Chain A
Amino acid sequence: MMERIANHPILGETPKREKITFIYDGKEYEGYKGEPIATALKANGVMTHRYTARTHEPRGVFCAIGRCTDCVMIVDGKPNIRTCITPLEQGMVIETQYGVTAQQ
């Protein structure tokens, strides 16, 4: 689990946001509407977003701005979604990506 920042010495209190639920690898989790999927996953302790096709190495967030594509996952059935810049929505189904597919 990675702690969210509730109060910041310069930015002040984090604005209140709408809590929603989503499914990650078959289980329900909570996150905030509109935040990057990757942030919601991080808050729930998820570090590994995918495994590479040939050597099955874990990959997670690296650049967090949609450039490196290391954090891609399957979102609502669609693979290769950059979770660091895709906003979380109520009921989203997010799956760990193995190569370019879900686990067989």
Chain B
Amino acid sequence: MKIERYDMIVVGAGPAGLSAAIEAAKQGLKTIVFDENERPGGQLFKQIHKFFGSKEHKAKVRGFKIGEELLEEAHRYGVEVILNATVIGLYPQKEVTVKIGEELRHYKGDAVLVATGASENMVNFEGWTLPGVIGAGAAQTMMNLHHIKPGKKVLMLGSGNVGLVVSFQLMQAGCEVVALADAAPRVGGYGVHAAKVARCGVPFYLSHTIVKAEGTDHVTGVVIGQVGADWNIIPGTEKHFDVDTICLAVGLSPMAQLLKQAEVQMADTKGGYVPVCTKDGATSVPGIYAAGDVSGIEEASSAMIEGRMSGAAIACYLGYMSEGEKNARMKELEAQLDTLRQGMFAPKNRGKLVEKTDEGIAVSMNLLENGFVADDEIERYPGVTHQKGIHPVIECTQNIPCNPCQDACPKGCIRIGKNITSLPAVEGKKECVGCGMCVASCSGQAIFLVKEDVEPGFGEVTLPYEFLPVPEVGERGLALGRDGREVCSCEVTKVSKAPAFDYTNLLTIKVPNEMLMTARFYKKA
């Protein structure tokens, strides 16, 4: 039996695995990556939204572009990526068995990194096995990879970032999202993600869960109901929706089976069954490492940094990098990871209700309970100012790690400061030229340009628009409020498209002056 040897074997060609392989290959390690899928990139190629973070985290770049960049980098450094290759065995001696086609092949790594990611959780309810009940990941796979609508009318269960982002993507694909429900009393994901879904008119039902899926051969409807303090449905609160698809976004669980098989010390935590590992991903078995979601669920941005850390650690473990070089690199990467783990959504705040921002401003309860900031709450944030001429209105109301808007403004109107989780503030003294770069750069689509009195009694609102068809100048339609309700009729006065906007079109609508702080979305009449 032939056994092929590599310095480093990586299981999983997602953001963590590829990043680790690149980092190690840069130091000269002979590296191979196995992935069971037909395409590399893990879930990155399904992520069509702009990522958060700062420049070093590839903020405002869409997920699939980050995937392309990673792959290109992997090839440049000579990383071998083997697809359709399922790793079915990992032994403490770092032997790896891989099923490729109908054949089993054997590999030996001096070090092995497991970056197998996570799988979606499910919930049980009457009818949950019916065709038409799908995972949120399945919806993304269908619409963003295979170019088919997952359903015509969809109910989303789960208000974490996955549920929110996929709801928006469903609408971008042309599906109707009839409602978003979550058994939790408050929205779990970023407020800006919720707000862009809510302003399209999707009602949020917090403290609600699915009672049953209706249909005999496939889903034809769904009933949701309000959950009481005992987590049972309160009788009489049931609501029916006609849907053909129910999408479940109820969390992820690490896929750590291979690590357990390799006799790595495991821990049963709130976040799932995970390997016990050091900061750089070293497990209890020397030479076996873990990075990304397999060692605890986070975002792709942090998975990429964790991967780089493990790659450097392995390079040092195998003598390709000195202890000093490794420590210097680690320090750099740790600082990057640390900035992502700050703010309201920091791991230490999970499950806690944060009532005030770092700046001491009350968090919008309406945002947490209904998905949008109420008109009487929005004025208290530092990105919201009233000025005579055109100026940005930044409806970014939670401390999340993100700062592209600050660099996007050529005039220095937007200030976040060194701490990237600070709320962006609009500087009144600097002159906005209305270029719209901030609007397009905001991954949360939370920036609008407002200009009073373009003609007597009327002003203009410029908003990010990522839907088809793109409205035409002169078209008349309806302006929707943050809650997705119609607030007034309006006219499209400008449509800006530019390569620098990266497919975020800027739509300018003319509304009465008194609606400038209310109108936040456009709907064709």
Contact = CB atoms under 8 A, between A and B. Distances in A.
Given A9-B466, A10-B503, 19 more contacts: A2-B149, A2-B152, A3-B152, A4-B149, A7-B468, A9-B503, A10-B62, A42-B142, A47-B131, A47-B132, A47-B217, A58-B218, A63-B134, A63-B135, A63-B138, A64-B135, A64-B137, A64-B138, A65-B138
Given A7-B468, A39-B142, A61 B503 contact: no
B131 A48 contact: yes
Interface residues of A, number: 33
Closest 7 CB pairs of A and B: A60-B131, A64-B138, A47-B218, A47-B131, A64-B141, A14-B147, A39-B146
Contact of B149 (A3, A65, A84): A3
A58 B37 contact: no
Contacts of A43: 148
Contact of B218 (A8, A48, A62): A48
Nearest to B84: A85
B146 A48 contact: no
Contacts of A39: 142, 146, 148
B148 A2 contact: yes
Interface in A36-66: 36, 39, 42-43, 47-49, 57-66
A41 to B, nearest CB: 10
Contacts of A19: none
Interface of A: 2-5, 7-11, 14, 35-36, 39, 42-43, 47-49, 57-67, 70, 84-85, 87
Interface in B125-180: 129-135, 137-138, 141-144, 146-152, 172-174
Contacts of B238: none
Interface of B: 36-38, 48, 62, 119-120, 129-135, 137-138, 141-144, 146-152, 172-174, 217-218, 466-468, 470, 503
Nearest to B119: A67
A85 to B, nearest CB: 7
A5 B147 contact: yes
A contact face: mostly helix, strand, loop, or mixed? loop
B467 A9 contact: yes
6 contacts: A3-B148, A9-B467, A10-B466, A42-B148, A63-B119, A63-B135
A84 B131 CA distance: 13
Contact of B129 (A57, A64, A66, A87): A57
B200 to A, nearest CB: 13
B135 A62 contact: yes
Contacts of A58: 130-131, 217-218
Given A14-B147, A60-B132, A3 B174 contact: yes
